[in-house]
Amino acid sequence: MKKIKLCLLLVGIMALTGCEKEKEDEVSSVDKSGSIETELSVEHLDNTDILITKHKIWKDKKLFKEIVKRDTIPSLGDTLVAGEDSNGYDHTAKTKKDYQFFITVQ
């Protein structure tokens, strides 16, 4: 019986470690010899949201220019989110819905 439990434990550990995938497209640093770094974010206000687009233009390892643009966009409304606090109790909270980002680079 102990051997079966030990085997199940080992198989479970192997399955969990096998599921962890490395993100191939995640960037840890920017090539500052000549690149454009872009950051997108959304700030939630009462009935509207603010889309913030930041561009950093790098040339010869120096920040050549930084462009920040703010656009007002409609809010998606509220949603209920369930979660657990540090004591293990379940809570439901109302929060703003977030936009999904889809980016096309040419």
pTM score of the predicted model: 0.62
Comparison of pLDDT for 87 and 19, the residue scoring more: 87
Q: Where are the domains of the chain?
A: 30-98
Round to whole Å and give the CA distance between 51 and 39: 11
Express each pLDDT in 84-97 by its tens digit: 778 888 888 888 88
Residues 24-83: tens digit of each pLDDT: 666 778 888 899 999 999 999 888 999 999 999 999 999 999 999 999 999 988 888 888
For 2-10, the CB contacts below 8 A with 24+ separation are none
Q: What is the pLDDT of residue 7?
A: 47
How far from 46 is each of 23, 55, 95, CA to CA, in Å? 35, 26, 11
